[in-house]
Amino acid sequence: MAEAGSVYVDVAGESKSEHVTGKWFSVPELRLRDHRFIVPLDYSKSSPKITVFAREIVAVGKEEQAMPYLLYLQGGPGFEGPRPSEASGWIQRACEEFRVVLLDQRGTGLSTPLTCSSMLQFKSAKELADYLVHFRADNIVKDAEFIRSFGGFCALTYLSFAPEGLKQVLITGGIPPIGKACTADDVYEAGFEQVARQNEKYYKRFPQDIEIVRELVNYLAESEGGGVPLPSGGILTPKGLQTLGLSGLGSSTGFERLHYMLERVWDPILVTGAPKCISQFFLNAFESWHSFDTNPLYALLHEAIYCEGASSGWSAHRLRDKYEYKFDAMKAVKESQPVLFTGEMIFPWMFDEIHALKPFKAAADLLAKKEDWPPLYDVPRLQNNKVPVAAAVYYEDMYVNFKLVTETASHISGIRLWVTNEFMHSGLRDAGRQIIDHLLGMINGKKPLF
């Protein structure tokens, strides 16, 4: 999943009727207060209103100090901003010189959240799909401008359509491909190759898991209905099992978490002759591995974030056929080869197998077929960009392909790249203070060009 970027803005005044400010409260070494804004669902015409929530954070004692604002845009799509419990990581570093704003992007967290239950209020798939089209980066940026304030992807949209609201931009791990009507095919062409390499690394680390996964795939395939029931009511199939690679192969501790999960896949056989059975631990762990039940927008809008005037047409699903010789689980079992996990990809059959997503299958299909998506980027404007931009680029990032990143960067005037293989896509979570400090040094001249 794309990690967050950070955008620096100067917040303008808002109408009191459209802005409610909460009281300051505390967590260790930080002071926080909440803001709620009433904004249009559709900025292009008269439309219903929604609430957008943002949380302001300062270091203790700096509540009244005049400081520039740092707006944090969470990656995703479909994930809310972080909830700090103490001063640590990048937030602690940022609060030394900024007033930090954590935005719950529309549809997430406390910003009129689109949940598996709330979306059931729509009477048809078309009504839901028509509603969901308003929850991409273009409108997230309009919300941010409304209060003057998605991750790195949103930052480029901001630079394209509202650069006057920005003083500086920091991006960590999220620079999208641009310049085509839909870039999803480019993303997954590169993505499948990178995921295959990550699988190779994983099995070198944990070769004992090769046989465990093969045995599990065979067990699932031979089960009634081609899979086993999950606690929530979905079904775990060989294809579903392969989706563990989404977070297992791309984050700094993903390999270890995946391995420890697989080592407890089977219930112990206590009585001679008892049949083998997948453990409840594993089934529960599988369901908690993904966040589709709490953040369904991630699945519904995943490919739409790449579309400008063309449909995605279930890009990952189409391109998987091209690589099926690598990602065919049953073929791997029959040929005694390692079963490869898939990566950050959403497939249409997930709306059949994952209980939380089942009600939204028809809406997801409408979104996959939609062609008239509005633009997300203005390439000529990016080529004439005047806003300083510094970006951390993770060389071995499974989620954001290095080659595609450098191609995009070549179209952004004034951008500086920090290319490193020291971190994975989760770098900001793993070493936030170090990364923010490095990017601030780049953008403020402490780390000059060389």
Q: Give the catalytic positions in this structure.
A: 149, 372, 425
Which amino acid would we find at residue 305? I
Within 10 angstroms of residue 244's Cβ, the number of other Cβ atoms is 21
Both tokens of 329, joined, read: 């689980």
Residue in the structure block whose two tokens are 């293989």: 421
The pair of structure tokens assigned to 297 is: 């927008």
Round to whole Å and give the CA distance between 131 and 146.
Answer: 20
The Cα–Cα gap between 249 and 247 comes to: 6
Question: Torsion angle, CA of 260/265/269/270, rounded to 10 degrees?
Answer: 60
What number of residues does the chain have? 450
Q: In whole angstroms, what is the distance from residue 49 CA to residue 395 CA?
A: 41
Q: CA 103 to CA 105: how far, in whole Å?
A: 6
- On whether the CB atoms of residues 447 and 269 are closer than 8 A, the answer is no
What region, left, alpha or beta, does residue 185 occupy, with left being phi > 0 and alpha being psi -120 to 50 degrees? alpha
Prior bond to 229 cis, omega within 30?
Answer: no
User: What's at 292, amino acid-wise?
Assistant: F
